[in-house]
């Protein structure tokens, strides 16, 4: 984790600045007014710099020793927070192996300052837990950064730095959990590790074991987990500040590996299914961040954990299971397992929420459908809801966080495709609109009076292409920042 500070003066050998472009004309964009832009621009032109986003040009210099020039795209009076966040992250990634750098990226307000801080902290990440002989070849992420700014010294600026560090640390926790292979991350180990962190943050948590889940009737989680040697768990963590302004329940899909079960997935790409617990990791990390930020919101988190495997004890297509609370489900496709574990957890979350006086919001986060990627691509996640007001509030929060989400409908006419000839419902329906059908399935387990949003983060949770902006390869940690921004808006 990079530590962040801010001052008006340069204090290291490396300086990061921005470069923009309009009609072929390059412009240096920097919060450092002492820089001689003219001679530097000539050098950048010689080097063929274009100012495009994701472009990093390193220029040897005398004092500082090196200038790192990061593209900001088209020249603007003011750059958007997300442009600055990505540029800061991109520059930070290029500085792996260095200890310290000064960042003089342009900014006019505290939101932009905060975005630069977040970009740096998020970009300073790598994952080497499972490297042996090649570990020494890996460059350590940038260790500390000084943001050159007039804003950073204010109390608001200082709070932004602290917030960026907390948010990045929790995003990195999600990335680490997603990147950890299923050989080393099971429903039990996930629960144990999270319980330790929860305890260190003075949060209450409990682990529902396989036996407890069975005896209490959590047929979704136990059904999905029954084919695996690594038994399922339900992990519950709660943050209860004094005099909360709102009460929220978060539910996460925690499939530590999704082989597809007897509907076995093709070998090509199956490895990405170690990311199928990203929702669970995200909601737990969000609660940890909320506690560290001391947000005045009571939050219960429910991570529904199981490994979806093939074996003689695995669920068979046509098996009927009973979800917590009594609804029966015909499991036509054991690869549509996320909705089964989520159904149990959604019902439990509402039961506990009701006892505590009612929920202001119920939010589930899940790598739920391949159809998400068909509809929105690899980087934009989906939002579905039974409550437009809450969905709008969440979309506003994504404007602050810079994460890409898009609202999707839950068309009533698709619901009938989930009808089963033998049980209350089947676990699959129409293939067309598969993401929406999955959302409609979950909706059946949500009380109409409870404001609910469902986040399908299937592809955005795991980046199996190149690193970009502040996003590393592998687990991305998507949804944590938007959830925090949402909690802050209550």
Give catalytic residues, as residue numbers: 265, 339
Answer for which of 29, 276, 344, 360 binds ligand BES (CB under 6 A) is 276
Contact between 254 and ligand BES per CB under 6 A: no
Residue 104 binds which of Mn ion, ligand BES, Zn ion, none (CB < 5-8 A, kind-dependent): none
Contact between 338 and Zn ion per CB under 5 A: yes
Looking only at residues 354 through 383 of this chain, which bind Mn ion when binding is defined by CB under 5 A?
A: none
Contact between 371 and ligand BES per CB under 6 A: yes
Looking at the Cβ atoms of 165 and 258, the one nearer to Mn ion is 258
Q: How far apart are CA 255 and CA 338, in angstroms?
A: 7
Looking at the Cβ atoms of 307 and 337, the one nearer to Mn ion is 337
Task: Tell whether the torsion through CA atoms of 73, 78, 79 and 80 is positive or negative.
Answer: negative
Q: How far apart are CA 299 and CA 307, in angstroms?
A: 26
Looking at the Cβ atoms of 3 and 333, the one nearer to ligand BES is 333
Looking only at residues 454 through 473 of this chain, which bind ligand BES when binding is defined by CB under 6 A?
A: 458-459
Answer for the pair 123, 93: CB distance below 8 angstroms, yes or no: yes
Secondary structure string (H, E, C) spanning 224-276: HHCCCCCCCEEEEEEECCCCCCEEEEEEEEEEEEECCCCCCCCCCCHHHHHHC
Beta-strand runs (E) in 358-472:
361-366, 381-385, 405-407, 425-426, 452-456, 462-463
Binding mask 315-354 for ligand BES (x = CB under 6 A): ------------------x-xxxx----------------
Stretch that binds Mn ion, among 194-202, 217-225, 252-260, 425-433 (CB under 5 A): 252-260
Contact between 261 and Zn ion per CB under 5 A: no
Closest contact distance (angstroms) between CB of 428 and ligand BES is 4
Closest contact distance (angstroms) between CB of 338 and Zn ion is 4
Looking at the Cβ atoms of 337 and 403, the one nearer to Mn ion is 337
406 three-class SS: strand
The enclosing H or E element of 148 equals strand 144-148
Q: How far apart, in Å, are the Cα atoms of 398 and each of 81, 320, 382, 468? A: 12, 39, 12, 19
328 three-class SS: strand
Looking only at residues 269 through 288 of this chain, which bind Zn ion when binding is defined by CB under 5 A?
A: 276
Q: How many residues are listed for the chain in this entry? A: 490
- Residues in the interface with ligand BES (CB under 6 A) total 16
Closest contact distance (angstroms) between CB of 317 and Mn ion is 13
Identify which of 241, 237, 223 has the alpha carbon closest to the alpha carbon of residue 315.
Answer: 223
- Residues in the interface with Zn ion (CB under 5 A) total 4
Looking at the Cβ atoms of 55 and 258, the one nearer to Mn ion is 258
320 three-class SS: strand
Q: How far apart are CA 294 and CA 291, in angstroms?
A: 5
Identify which of 363, 388, 367, 341 has the alpha carbon closest to the alpha carbon of residue 446.
Answer: 363
Work out the angle at residue 262's Cα, subtended by the Cα atoms of residues 260 and 267, and round it to the nearest 5 degrees.
50
Closest contact distance (angstroms) between CB of 23 and Mn ion is 49
Answer for which of 258, 300, 344, 360 binds Mn ion (CB under 5 A) is 258
Closest contact distance (angstroms) between CB of 335 and Mn ion is 4
Answer for the pair 227, 311: CB distance below 8 angstroms, yes or no: yes
Stretch that binds Mn ion, among 102-110, 174-182, 337-345, 478-486 (CB under 5 A): 337-345
Residue 330 binds which of Mn ion, Zn ion, ligand BES, none (CB < 5-8 A, kind-dependent): none
Stretch that binds Mn ion, among 93-101, 145-153, 335-343, 355-363 (CB under 5 A): 335-343
Closest contact distance (angstroms) between CB of 6 and ligand BES is 38
CB nearest Zn ion: which residue? 258
Identify which of 82, 142, 93 has the alpha carbon closest to the alpha carbon of residue 116.
Answer: 82
Answer for the pair 469, 80: CB distance below 8 angstroms, yes or no: no
Contact between 334 and Zn ion per CB under 5 A: no
Closest contact distance (angstroms) between CB of 444 and ligand BES is 15
Residue 477 binds which of Mn ion, ligand BES, Zn ion, none (CB < 5-8 A, kind-dependent): none
Q: How far apart are CA 209 and CA 359, in angstroms?
A: 26
As beta bridge partners, residue 67 has 15, 59
Identify which of 420, 468, 465 has the alpha carbon closest to the alpha carbon of residue 122.
Answer: 468
Residue 217 binds which of Mn ion, ligand BES, Zn ion, none (CB < 5-8 A, kind-dependent): none
Residue 369 binds which of ligand BES, Zn ion, Mn ion, none (CB < 5-8 A, kind-dependent): ligand BES
79 three-class SS: coil
Binding mask 411-450 for ligand BES (x = CB under 6 A): -----------------x-----x----------------
Q: How far apart are CA 207 and CA 201, in angstroms?
A: 17
Contact between 258 and Zn ion per CB under 5 A: yes
Instruction: Count the Cβ atoms, other than its own, within 10 Å of residue 93.
Output: 23
Contact between 456 and Mn ion per CB under 5 A: no
Contact between 456 and Zn ion per CB under 5 A: no
DSSP string, 270-302: GGGGGGTTHHHHHHHHHHHHHHHTT-SEEEEEE
Looking only at residues 81 through 110 of this chain, which bind ligand BES when binding is defined by CB under 6 A?
A: none
Site for Mn ion, rule CB under 5 A? 258, 335, 337
Site for ligand BES, rule CB under 6 A? 258, 276, 333, 335-338, 367-371, 428, 434, 458-459
């Amino acid at each position: 984790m990079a530590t962040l500070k801010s001052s008006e003066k340069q204090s290291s050998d490396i300086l990061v600045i921005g470069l923009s472009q309009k009609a072929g004309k390059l412009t240096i964009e920097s919060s450092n007014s002492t820089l001689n832009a003219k001679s530097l621009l000539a050098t950048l032109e010689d080097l063929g710099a274009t100012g495009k986003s994701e472009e990093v040009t390193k220029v040897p210099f005398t004092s500082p020793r090196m200038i790192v020039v990061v593209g900001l795209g088209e020249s603007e009076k003011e750059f958007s927070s997300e442009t600055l966040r990505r540029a800061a992250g991109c520059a930070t990634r290029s500085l792996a192996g260095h200890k310290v750098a000064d960042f003089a990226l342009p900014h006019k307000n505290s939101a932009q300052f905060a975005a630069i801080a977040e970009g740096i902290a998020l970009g300073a990440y790598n994952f080497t837990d499972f490297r042996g002989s090649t570990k020494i070849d890996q460059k350590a992420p940038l260790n500390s950064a000084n943001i050159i700014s007039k804003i950073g010294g204010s109390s608001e600026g200082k709070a932004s730095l602290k917030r960026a560090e907390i948010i990045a640390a929790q995003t990195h926790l999600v990335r680490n959990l997603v990147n950890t292979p299923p050989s080393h991350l099971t429903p039990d180990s996930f629960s144990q590790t999270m319980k330790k962190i929860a305890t260190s943050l003075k949060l209450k948590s409990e682990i529902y074991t396989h036996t407890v889940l069975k005896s209490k009737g959590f047929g979704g989680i136990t059904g999905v987990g029954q084919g695996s040697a690594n038994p399922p768990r339900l992990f519950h963590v709660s943050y209860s500040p004094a005099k909360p302004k709102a009460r929220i329940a978060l539910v996460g899909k925690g499939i530590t590996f999704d082989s597809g079960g007897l509907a076995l997935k093709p070998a090509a790409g199956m490895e990405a299914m170690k990311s199928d617990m990203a929702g669970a990791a995200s909601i737990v990390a969000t609660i940890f961040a909320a506690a560290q930020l001391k947000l005045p919101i009571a939050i219960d988190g429910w991570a529904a954990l199981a490994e979806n495997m093939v074996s003689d004890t695995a669920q068979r297509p046509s098996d009927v299971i009973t979800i917590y609370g009594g609804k029966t489900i015909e499991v036509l496709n054991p690869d549509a397992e996320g909705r089964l574990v989520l159904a149990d957890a959604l019902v439990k979350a509402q039961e506990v929420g009701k006892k505590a006086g009612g929920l202001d919001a119920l939010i589930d986060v899940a790598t739920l459908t391949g159809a998400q990627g068909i509809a929105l691509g690899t980087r934009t996640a989906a939002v579905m809801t039974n409550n437009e007001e809450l969905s709008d509030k969440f979309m506003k929060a994504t404007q602050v966080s810079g994460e890409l989400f898009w609202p999707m409908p839950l068309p009533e006419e698709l619901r009938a495709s989930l009808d089963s000839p033998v049980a209350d419902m089947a676990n699959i329906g129409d293939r067309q609109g598969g993401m929406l059908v999955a959302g409609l399935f979950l909706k059946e387990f949500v009380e109409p009076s409870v404001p609910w949003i469902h986040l399908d983060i299937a592809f955005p949770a795991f980046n199996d292409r190149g690193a970009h902006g502040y996003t590393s390869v592998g687990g991305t940690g998507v949804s944590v920042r938007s959830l925090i921004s949402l909690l802050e808006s209550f």
